[in-house]
């Protein structure tokens, strides 16, 4: 069983003028893992995983600007900017080397961080964080139509950011659609109801179209550097299919693939299995 450690600290620090919130647990002298969240959520989705990792590792989980408890920055936000600010936060905290855990939006953020600063990357964990065209599921098709004609398909993104859609994304592919903690879902619904935070989310959904063009670059980087890599995946995820997990091994033949009988938010139903797989990856990365 995973060790548990419940002393998690909650802090906010300014990074390039943006107040960024993060959770931190474990001994800072130990090797680090950074948990990158995904839309429509933030670091609060990681509370169970933090608890199971912090007994042996130094765990950090930031909130992106405009998400969770981080401040809303002025103007549009891109994935390039998220990567810069997240890297800046870790630099400010003196965390020089780390394993990245990438979920959903965390993959395009984390791969930008990795390719910009490969010397900092001890390993990668992707939990339903896609980097391959073959991993894109059918429910993302309407977003592609919106990218093609923003004005004509504006209703698409408004629906995607609705309370109904947020609840659906938490439940997507789960064996038990009632399994997500309603308190966690309610926080995400409430935050996205704020017009300023909603605008940040829309900016990022618009910018998501820049990611597929970078997939070959990210895959090439994985093949060249071959960091210890784990793709632990909810195989029932309709957004990012299990083909996206297999793509990590295609790029890096040394990658470990773990497919789980659950959905997009795999930690809801398979927390223990994910934690055990991540412990194994961390042990290999820091051997």
Active site residues: 264
DSSP state of 45: G
Query: Quick one: three-class SS letters along 103-151?
Result: ECCHHHHHHHHHHHCHHHEEEEEEECCCCCHHHECHHHHHHHHHHHCCC
Pair of tokens at residue 42? 């933030």
Pair of tokens at residue 230? 């784990």
Question: Residue 90 and residue 111: Cα distance in Å, rounded?
Answer: 15
Is the separation of the CB atoms in 99 and 123 below 8 Å? yes
Instruction: Give the closest residue to 231 by CA, choosing from 217, 241, 216.
Output: 241
Segment (H or E) for 199: helix 195-207
Backbone angles phi, psi at 51, to 5 degrees: -60, -35
Helices (H), 208-239: 215-225
Sort strands 121-127 and 32-36 into parallel, antiparallel or unpaired.
unpaired
């Amino acid at each position: 069983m995973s060790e548990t450690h419940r002393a998690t600290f909650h802090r906010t620090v300014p990074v390039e003028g943006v107040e960024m919130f993060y959770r931190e647990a474990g001994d800072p002298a130990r090797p680090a893992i950074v948990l990158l969240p995904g839309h429509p959520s933030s670091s609060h989705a990681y509370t169970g995983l933090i608890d199971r990792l912090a007994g042996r590792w130094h765990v950090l989980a930031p909130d992106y600007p405009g998400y969770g408890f981080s401040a809303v920055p002025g103007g549009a936000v891109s994935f390039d900017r998220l990567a810069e600010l997240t890297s800046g936060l870790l630099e400010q905290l003196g965390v020089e080397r780390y394993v990245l855990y990438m979920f959903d939006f965390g993959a395009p953020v984390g791969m930008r961080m990795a390719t910009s600063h490969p010397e900092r990357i001890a390993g990668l964990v992707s939990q339903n964080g896609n980097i391959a065209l073959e991993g894109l599921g059918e429910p993302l098709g309407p977003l592609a139509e919106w990218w093609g004609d923003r004005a004509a398909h504006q209703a698409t993104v408004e629906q995607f950011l609705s309370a109904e859609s947020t609840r659906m994304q938490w439940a997507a592919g789960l064996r038990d659609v009632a399994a997500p903690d309603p308190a966690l879902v309610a926080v995400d619904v409430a935050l996205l109801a704020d017009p300023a935070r909603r605008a940040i989310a829309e900016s990022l959904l618009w910018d998501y179209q820049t990611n597929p063009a970078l997939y070959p670059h990210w895959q090439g980087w994985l093949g060249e550097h071959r960091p210890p890599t784990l793709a632990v995946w909810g195989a029932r995820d309709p957004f990012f299919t299990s083909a996206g997990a297999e793509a990590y091994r295609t790029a890096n033949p040394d990658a470990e693939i773990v497919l789980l009988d659950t959905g997009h938010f795999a930690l809801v139903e398979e927390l223990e299995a994910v934690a055990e797989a991540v412990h194994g990856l961390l042990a290999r990365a820091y051997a």
